[in-house]
Amino acid sequence: MSLSRRRALHVLAGAAVAGSCARGTGPAHAQDADRHGMSAFGDLSYPADFTHFNYVEVNAPKGGTYSEIVGSRVYNGSFLTFNSLNAYILKGEGALGMDYTFAPLMVRAGDEPDAMYGLVARTVRISDDGLIYRFTLRPEARFHDATPLTAHDVAWSITTLKEKGHPIITQQLRDCKGAEAVDDRAVVVRFAENRARDVPLFVAGLPVFSRAYYSKHEFDQSTLEAPVGSGPYKVGRFEAGHHIEFERVKDWWGADLPVSRGLNNFDVIRYEYYRDRDVGFEGFTAKNYLFREEFTSRTWATRYNFPAIKDGRVKRNVIPDATPSGAQGWFINTRRDKFKDRRLREALIDAFDFEWTNKNIMYGSYDRTQSVFENSPMKATGKPSAAELALLEPFRTRVPEEVFGDPYVPPVTDGSGQDRRWLRRAAQLLNDAAIRLVNSKRVLPNGQPFDIEFLLDEPTFKPHHLTYIKNLEVLGFAATLRIVDPVQYRRRVDDSDFDITTDRLGFSSTPGDSLRTYFSSQSAAIKGSQNRAGIADPVIDKLIDIIVAAKTRGDLVTACRALDRVIRAGRYWIPHWYKATHWIAYWDVFGRPAAQPRYFRGIPDNWWYEKGKASKLEQKGPSTR
């Protein structure tokens, strides 16, 4: 099993796209002029007169249905259920796909690391100091109830999300001072001095809500009433906790814009929710849904041999993933006193036998995660460069000495399941931390038993936990696994009410302010934040500030490597695994472009339904297991 993609967050959910240059960083080209797009360092691949993205088929047919099992989440979303159509607040479990129903000011290009181009906004004008963004809206922009989408709606949406949105959103909008409508067609967004690089584009990617609709509805309440949107799809049929459909808006105002041509090709996009992964797989073999990204190595290795695979009705592919894999693992809640000692946390890392787990449970499918920027140039390797040392030297007395040498990597075991060498080392670390053995049980320095509870929301990951727990028991810990329903899991994680839980922290190729939501002292105290480990280190805060202020991509990479060294030295999580590919399977009813966007999967956005393939599939007969 892998959580490295299943836990992936939507780009708006924290792996935020990067914005224009921060104050004092020096724009890459002239500001204070109307532009069709923007990026972190001013570079745009597509000219103002571009007609479509390079990774789409402009003449792709419209029609048909795309369906898949839920494999990602946004803000308050769950992988296992939903009970709300409000996906932008803390309350409730929001349905996946609600972003299809709202149009943002700008959208990302999938073949550039951080560039965005206009959707609701026709152009953007950026002040020379990078603190004022004036968006000019397209006059044709409309909500689904045919009312105009105006600058007043944009300003209201930004203001409301800043005040009442999910904590991830409110954190990211910290440096957004406010938005105001100049008239119906122009909105001005103001930012704080020294604002983070990714805040402006985070703002540009936020949904635009109907101010008129929310004048009669409470924004910050969980609801199953479909809101009025302005995007390419609107909410269709749904059954809370089971499935939801999004219907293509046939006369959508944005369909022929350069950022939309060749995209949004399906008449219906449907998401299926399953509480059990094995049952979900059986649903795929029975053609209850049409596309599946596989996250369980055992299933990928042993169960894709059903008749529809053998006769070609179901296709199976491995496609590359060039995006940063981020940090996946068991995150240790350092808010709790018993986990404060770094030596204890390193002992917990030493107790995990990745090599055995990978071979015996995951069919050797993965590589070991080492870095918070895994699978990217931002990962620290070897001794620090001169540029890294220049950033780190002021903190020499405040960080472990290892920060100035090779970065920490988790141990490589003998694959026996209980490598005595590493267990002995873990025991020594525990003794050094005064976490002693008393009657074969570990006790805290105050004499209290040292118990550890692992919190989980579904049983598929159970074998990985149990093999690790056995090693912890060898060390004398009273370790248990607690599996709770998804609603309780979300509540406990949002409240930081756990010892250790599994998650994946994902970042864009140009991280900035989003790093604060994962690693800053401020986020450690915020309910619903993504700082699972409760990291609160002033050195890390300062390094994030340096990343935010980076003037070039090279400076950004250097600062991220320095941050990576310090975080890894803190032993905040027990690293898991990753793979730089997507495992996908699908019933052979789809067409897709030859070119794949580098920076996201592109599915279902640029795929389409092929009636000819579907007819041939039906002629082969029903699915049989």
pLDDT in tens, 78-130: 989 999 999 999 999 999 999 999 999 999 999 998 899 999 999 999 999 99
How many Å apart are CA 369 and CA 181, to the nearest integer? 46
Mean per-residue pLDDT, 600-620: 86
Count CB-CB contacts under 10 A for residue 159: 16
The two three-digit tokens of residue 93, written as one number: 């479990």
In Å, how far are 66, 86, 262, 537 from 268, measured between CA atoms?
A: 6, 20, 16, 47
Contact 534, 522 (CB under 8 A): no
Contact 36, 48 (CB under 8 A): yes
How many Å apart are CA 472 and CA 478, to the nearest integer? 8
Does residue 610 have a pLDDT over 80? yes
Q: What is the pLDDT, as a whole number, of residue 216? A: 96
Q: What is the pLDDT, as a whole number, of residue 381? A: 97
Mean per-residue pLDDT, 325-347: 96
Contact 162, 75 (CB under 8 A): no
Q: How confident is the model at residue 20 (pLDDT cuts 50, 70, 90)?
A: very low
Mean per-residue pLDDT, 235-248: 97
Cis amide linkage into residue 604, ω under 30° from 0: yes
The domain limits of the chain are: 327-578
3-state secondary structure 232-266: CEEEEEEECCCEEEEEECCCCCCCCCCCCCCCCCC
pTM: 0.84
How many Å apart are CA 299 and CA 193, to the nearest integer? 51
* Neighbouring-strand partners of residue 607: none
How many Å apart are CA 258 and CA 240, to the nearest integer? 35
Contact 481, 465 (CB under 8 A): yes
Superfamily grouping for domain 327-578 = Dipeptide-binding Protein; Domain 3 (3.10.105.10)
Does residue 4 have a pLDDT over 70? no
Mean per-residue pLDDT, 555-560: 96
Contact 254, 102 (CB under 8 A): no
Does residue 27 have a pLDDT over 60? no
Q: How confident is the model at residue 197 (pLDDT cuts 50, 70, 90)?
A: confident
Strands 268-272 and 65-69: what pairing?
parallel
Of the candidates 584, 252, 562, the one whose C-alpha atom is nearest the C-alpha of residue 390 is: 562
How many Å apart are CA 519 and CA 529, to the nearest integer? 10
Q: What is the pLDDT, as a whole number, of residue 615? A: 83
Pick the residue with more confidence: 546 or 619?
Answer: 546
* Neighbouring-strand partners of residue 584: 293, 317
Count CB-CB contacts under 10 A for residue 312: 11
Contact 326, 334 (CB under 8 A): no
3-state secondary structure 503-536: EEECCCCCCCCHHHHHHCHHHHCCCCCCCCCCCC
Model confidence over 460-512: pLDDT tens digits? 889 999 999 999 999 999 999 999 998 899 999 999 999 999 998 888 888 88
Q: What is the pLDDT, as a whole number, of residue 31? A: 55
How many Å apart are CA 515 and CA 523, to the nearest integer? 10
Model confidence over 31-58: pLDDT tens digits? 568 999 999 888 899 999 999 999 999 9
